[in-house]
Amino acid sequence: QLLLQESGPGLVKPSETLSLTCNVSGFPISTGYYWGWMRQPPGKGLEWIGSLYYNAQIFYSPSLKSRLTLSVDASKNLFFLTLNSVTAADTARYYCARGFDGYNYNFWGPGTLVAVSS
């Protein structure tokens, strides 16, 4: 059974770096599929952050690209999000998900809430 679980700091100070981990169980990341990150500010809609395919393509949201890095540790079946120079606008629940074609995401983690505040 495929399970995804996000983990992160919960609270980050403005201008600092946000680092999140998605722990995947039940399916090797290196086998295939696309792995993505989405976020949702409190009370608002969904925003796509970026997606990657192991050892191949990485796609970033243009609005975040200058601050964003997505990466994978296939040996530990983890993938990561790093977002630099955060502001209050980055406060959101962050979700990791698996997509069957890079565009449609049918398995999601429960999300982790990140607040940016001093």
Contact set with another protein (CB under 8 A): 38, 45-48, 51, 59, 61-63, 95, 97, 101, 103-106, 108-111
Q: Tell me the residue ranges of DSSP E strands in the chain.
A: 3-7, 11-12, 18-25, 34-40, 47-53, 58-60, 68-73, 78-83, 92-99, 105-108, 112-116
In the complex, minimum distance from the CB of residue 118 to another protein, in angstroms, rounded to a whole number: 27
In the complex, minimum distance from the CB of residue 2 to another protein, in angstroms, rounded to a whole number: 13
Distance CA(116)–CA(91), nearest Å, equals 5
Distance CA(94)–CA(77), nearest Å, equals 19
In the complex, minimum distance from the CB of residue 91 to another protein, in angstroms, rounded to a whole number: 17
Residue 87 CB neighbour total at 10 angstroms = 10
Cβ nearer to another protein, comparing 79 with 95: 95
58: β partners: 52
Cβ nearer to another protein, comparing 66 with 75: 66
71: β partners: 80
Cβ nearer to another protein, comparing 104 with 118: 104
In the complex, minimum distance from the CB of residue 46 to another protein, in angstroms, rounded to a whole number: 4
Cβ nearer to another protein, comparing 14 with 110: 110
